[in-house]
Chain A
Amino acid sequence: MTLSDPSQAQLTITNRDGDLALGGALVVWTLPRTPPPGAQRIDLTDLQRMDTAGAHYLARQRAQGAELVGLSQSHRILLETVSDAIPAPDKPAPPRSWWHDICRNTGKRVVGSLSTFVQMTEYLGRFLAALLRALRHPSQFRLTSLVYHCQQTGLRAVSIVAVMSFLIGVVLAFQGAAQLRQFGAEVFVVDLIAISVLRELGILLTAIVVAGRTTSALTASIGSMKMREEIDAMRTLGMDPDMVLILPRVLALVLMLPILGLIADLSGLLGGAIMSWIELGVSPSMFMTRLGDISVDHAIVGLVKAPVFALIIGIIGCHAGMMVGKDAESLGSQTSASVVSAIFAIIIADAAFSILFSVLGI
């Protein structure tokens, strides 16, 4: 038996003024070669093979008044099966005007963003409620899960945060030195590095890196659980998803992000110190002396933001995970959307903090 490729099937067409004769194979592969409807009479005596696509073609020809002759019994059965199954299209919806569409889409987007904001506050409330419940009933709290997530979001991120911050320190020293040398004020590079790293860059960049790493992981893990109905299963088993999923993940972030921020601060200062020594000849001891003159407020102002950033990352990640629907596509779109909105929200919060601190005069 030879292996025939169905796409090589042949159809013979003879046309004698409106009288059409088809032979060979009238199948989906030969359908493009069929003549357009309008024949009076179609002779199918030589037809050897026909599939549903061919039967569909003949049924349409017949509906337009063509007479089919010479159809074999088995082909006739197929033709009847197919013509019974040809669907009657529903009436198309009346076309809407363009301004209607614009208003509709704008309204949908506005309401959607507002309701997302409302849902975020709801999730924040759920986290806090779960936290209070865990304080009242410590036996319900999942310590193992908390430690696991601390390891995932905290310990595993130490290396990337430290290296990134070290390089930021190096870059600041290098760029600052080039500018300050023009005024002979090289030694102020220490102030430049210390204030910018401790106050802003250390914690902000740490939060952005953690947002990229952890928000996506949170959304993907909770989202895939949602997709496979694991969260519904949890509810029926009397486990509270807020307690089991949200609390350990968000709490781990709140605990770990200040520590990561501190590591970032230290390694940023280290990078700055090394670069100032190489580039400007500011010795480590001189660096330490200058550093001692800088108010500790800067470090506190930086680290105070960490728990807030952690809450933003955790709440956005968990919320997006819970919003995943049943299809794989929504998992992907929610994951990327959650990372983008987490980073965006962190930057907005950082700006809000700047305004707050300047009003307070810190």
Chain B
Amino acid sequence: MSRENVIEVRNLRTQFGDHVVHQDLDLDLRRGEILGVVGGSGTGKSVLLRSIVGLIRPAAGSVSVFGRDVTAMSGAEREAIERRWGVMFQDGALFSSLSVQENVEVPLRAVPGLSDEQRVSLAQLKVSMAGLPFKANADFPSDLSGGMRKRAGLARALALDPEIVFLDEPTAGLDPIGADAFDKLIVGLRDALNLSVFLVTHDLDTLHACCDRIAVLAEKRVLTTGTMAEMLQVDHPWVREYFHGPRARAAQPADRSEG
């Protein structure tokens, strides 16, 4: 692949007290790809996401985004880089005192000179692009269902058209139809905006439907990365069980189930 890496994680070590979560972890995210990050519960998928966006300080190693080390950045550089990524947290992490539309307006308020009318119509556009009906604009997060909160969180993450989007379990807890629509939405947005997507998920259907590459977190590091076809060949007990288990077989599209 000749595409550049937008995120490079090298020899990352994260630990809380004596508990080491990651040790010598390497990971790349290429421009325009959707990278699925999978791993058992408690392997630190969300922790990895948080260390990349700088919410957790790694104990050792480096995390570079667009070629710059995020752990050693000045305030201005950090601000610049934060405009180029968007994060969607597991439950949307919407501000509960603001309506959906106001939540999406929050990042847009950072744009100098943007008129109120432009900001409102852009926020409404993002809400609609995330697949929410127009009347959801006025709703407060506590009025929304889990799936709608996730969509609203995605709308906020995409408000400034970032180049990288981090999605933490976007389809967890959604009904299959909603999850399928979400997968299509992510792929559609990636194609339209050339997004790079860092997707933490457990959902095998999402992995099949969206991801260009998959990174498996196990044994405190990225055990292996590759396409879905490559994952099926990996000879590691956990990986084999994950990708060959009964749920995995059910999730495989018909054209792959023979191969």
Interface, chain A (partner B; CB < 8 A): 1-7, 27-29, 31-33, 51-53, 56, 74, 77-78, 81-82, 85-90, 325-330
Contact = CB atoms under 8 A, between A and B. Distances in A.
Contact of B126 (A7, A52, A77, A90): A52
A56 B161 contact: no
Interface centre among A4, A7, A326 (most CB of B within 10 A): A7
Given A27-B161, A28-B111, A82-B129, A3 B80 contact: yes
A32 B113 contact: yes
Contacts of B4: 1
Given A28-B122, A51-B161, A78-B193, A6 B80 contact: yes
A52 B188 CA distance: 13
B134 A88 contact: yes
B66 A328 contact: no
B66 A3 contact: yes
Contacts of B140: 327
Given A86-B128, A87-B124, 17 more contacts: A3-B67, A7-B80, A28-B111, A28-B122, A31-B118, A51-B161, A51-B193, A52-B129, A53-B122, A53-B161, A74-B194, A81-B188, A85-B125, A88-B134, A327-B96, A327-B140, A327-B142
Interface centre among A51, A89, A328 (most CB of B within 10 A): A51
B112 A82 contact: no
B191 interface: yes
Size range of the chain B interface in the assembly: 35 or more
A82 B125 contact: yes
Contact of B125 (A56, A74, A90): A56
A31 B114 contact: yes
Given A31-B111, A78-B193, A87 B128 contact: yes
A314 to B, nearest CB: 27
B81 interface: yes
A2 B66 CA distance: 8
Contacts of A86: 125, 128
Contacts of B142: 325-327, 330
A27 B194 CA distance: 14
B83 A77 contact: no
Interface of B: 4, 66-68, 77, 79-81, 83-84, 96-97, 108, 110-115, 118, 121-122, 124-129, 134-135, 140-142, 158, 160-161, 188, 191-194
A28 B128 contact: no
A229 to B, nearest CB: 13
Contacts of A2: 67
A329 B97 contact: yes
Nearest to A7: B83
Interface centre among A86, A327, A328 (most CB of B within 10 A): A327
Contacts of B192: 52, 77-78, 81-82
Query: Which 8 A/B pairs are nearest by Cβ-Cβ distance?
Result: A32-B113, A51-B161, A5-B80, A327-B142, A87-B128, A327-B96, A1-B67, A85-B129
B18 to A, nearest CB: 29
A45 to B, nearest CB: 20
Contacts of A90: 134-135
Contacts of A27: 161
Interface centre among B68, B113, B114, B118 (most CB of A within 10 A): B118
A56 B121 contact: yes
A329 B96 contact: yes
B111 A87 contact: no
B48 to A, nearest CB: 22
Nearest to A325: B142
A34 B36 CA distance: 38
Contact of A7 (B111, B128, B134): B111
A6 B86 CA distance: 13
Nearest to B129: A85
B157 to A, nearest CB: 13
Contacts of B80: 3-7
Given A7-B111, A327-B140, A87 B193 contact: no
Nearest to A55: B192
B66 A1 contact: yes
Contacts of B113: 32-33
A81 B187 CA distance: 12
Contacts of B134: 87-90
Contacts of A33: 113
B96 A56 contact: no
A89 B134 CA distance: 6
Contacts of B68: 3
Nearest to B77: A3
